[in-house]
Amino acid sequence: MAYQVTMPQMGYDMTEGTINRWVVEEGDRVERGDVIASIATEKADIDIEAYATGVLRKILVKPGTKVPVGEAIAIIADPSEQIPDALPDQPAGPAAEAPEKAPDQSREGDLKPGEPAPEPASPPVAATASGELAAASTPVPDWAQRLTGPAPEPVGAGRSAPTRDRVRASPLARRRARELGVQLESVQPSGPDGRIKAEDVEAASRGGSAGGPPAQLAGTAVGIDPGDPSEPVHLSPMRAAIARRMAESNSSIPHFYLTTEVRTGALVQIRTELNQLGDPDLPKFSLTDFIVRAMALTLQRHPSLNAAWVGNGLRRFSQSNVALAVALPDGLVAPVLRGCEALSFAELARRSHDLATRAKSNRLRPEELSGGHTAISNLGTFGVSQFSAIITPGQGSVLAVGAVREVPVVEAGQLVPGQQMAMTLAVDHRVTDGAEGAEALAYLRWCLEHPTACLL
């Protein structure tokens, strides 16, 4: 049985990836689950695992090459199995099965409003006696049959492969086209191999065109003084994605901001005491661990904040999924801690530290980069006393945390030394209003000022 390894889709808005390096070489034997390559996406560098056992017979894409999602990059087969010299124009689906997304128990159904039903993954391919690749029979899930109709019969004797003449477009571009009422046939593509991107659809809706090769360099804006020494900067996929998504967020999400001061004396003391226990089964706790726990409890107590505006409607979630901003050399990633309300404080801290460590070494799994309902950005370790953050599209809020500061405070009418920390909560005004946001922030502050609540 021969399998095509294809560029996987690591997130709903991913349209292409870049091969960083191949971990194995042609002719090497691989087992199911072995890492065979590293790819760069807009969010992070991610390892690709082999989802079949055999020999890496053919590497189709060299390192440094950008590849559209779904395009074949390698073939795994038995050592003596005959494989074709060239692949068909439309390769079969990925041999690398898409990782299962952790359950996100939203109360509005399984599909986001205005979002297309997911297409079932194509099956692995088998080499026939003539050396052609034919699709292997794989049962189609019931949900897929209900949404897309019966699965097509596999290509075989007496049946030729169907031609695909539909417009090539990314899933995000198709969704934006429906939202904006744009016909994809009228859009000028700018993606690889004539693929329509979301930016092309948005340009067409404004009466313009985003056609032509995508811009690769920054700093070419009109108005730069030619006598002012400067040089263009090549954007990494991550930095380009951050620029695009933050511009989209700032222009499309109506933010409002709420700031409060937290007295952190009790919080710092209990953290110090926990870390002095010397229990080898306990992790070293950070202030961020308490903040994540407090945010998880807040989302459960104030469900209006545990929501996001998606497409043309509001979705409210059941579990508390909290994204943690982690700084990297090229930008930042925000891996997601799922179901924080159901975790013990020690387990939450372990998972938080594990995510941060693997984020810095590019070892995050695809499902850990999406699904957040809110986010926490802590710049206190950089000496920042207070700041505001931008909400990530698909989430309803973000908490910006400043440094713990030694300040004079008033207790029982007396001025005494104390410790305080500023927090600014940014909320999508489509999700909730100022009064509800203020109540949620007040409860969050109470949890941190009474940190034993975070340990329950």
Mean pLDDT of the chain: 78
What distance lies between CA 428 and its chain's CA centroid?
A: 19
373 is catalytic: no
Q: Which residue has the tokens 């991107």?
A: 197
Q: Which residue has the higher pLDDT, 448 or 132?
A: 448
pLDDT of residue 109: 41
What distance lies between CA 40 and its chain's CA centroid?
A: 13
* Cα separation, 5 vs 55, whole angstroms: 12
Does residue 216 surpass a pLDDT of 80? no
Does residue 11 surpass a pLDDT of 90? no
Q: If you ran DSSP here, which 8-state letter would residue 227 be given? A: T
* 244-455: CATH, from 3.30.559.10, 3.20.20.70, 3.40.50.300, 1.10.287.1080: 3.30.559.10
> Which CATH architecture group holds 166-216?
Irregular (4.10)
> Which CATH architecture group holds 3-148?
Beta Barrel (2.40)
All CATH 3.30.559.10 domain ranges of the chain, comma separated, are: 244-455
Which listed residue (255, 302, 429, 450) is catalytic? Answer: 429
Other CB atoms within a 10 A radius of the CB of residue 293 amount to 27
Does residue 46 surpass a pLDDT of 70? yes
pLDDT of residue 397: 97
pLDDT, tens digit, for every residue of 222-240?
A: 466 777 888 888 777 777 7
All CATH 4.10.320.10 domain ranges of the chain, comma separated, are: 166-216
* Cα separation, 169 vs 351, whole angstroms: 37
Q: If you ran DSSP here, which 8-state letter would residue 234 be given? A: E
Q: Average pLDDT, stretch 153-162?
A: 40
Report the sign of the C-alpha dihedral through residues 267, 269, 273, 275, in that order: positive
DSSP string, 5-58: EE----STT--EEEEEEESS-TT-EE-TT-EEEEEE-SS-EEEEEPSS-EEEEE
Q: Which residue has the higher pLDDT, 149 or 25?
A: 25
Share of the chain above pLDDT 70, in %: 76
Q: If you ran DSSP here, which 8-state letter would residue 185 be given? A: G
Q: If you ran DSSP here, which 8-state letter would residue 61 be given? A: S
pLDDT of residue 379: 95
Q: Which residue has the higher pLDDT, 361 or 260?
A: 260
Structure tokens at 270: 């209990």
What distance lies between CA 386 and its chain's CA centroid?
A: 26
Does residue 201 surpass a pLDDT of 50? yes
* Cα separation, 436 vs 433, whole angstroms: 6
All CATH 2.40.50.100 domain ranges of the chain, comma separated, are: 3-148
Report the sign of the C-alpha dihedral through residues 315, 434, 264, 381, in that order: positive
pLDDT, tens digit, for every residue of 81-112?
A: 877 654 444 333 333 334 444 444 444 444 44
* Cα separation, 194 vs 204, whole angstroms: 15
Confidence of residue 297 (pLDDT cuts 50, 70, 90): very high
pLDDT, tens digit, for every residue of 242-253?
A: 788 788 888 889
- Contact status, residue 323 vs residue 372, Cβ threshold 8 Å: yes
Task: Report the range of poorest mean pLDDT among 12-16, 85-89, 196-200, 400-404.
Answer: 85-89
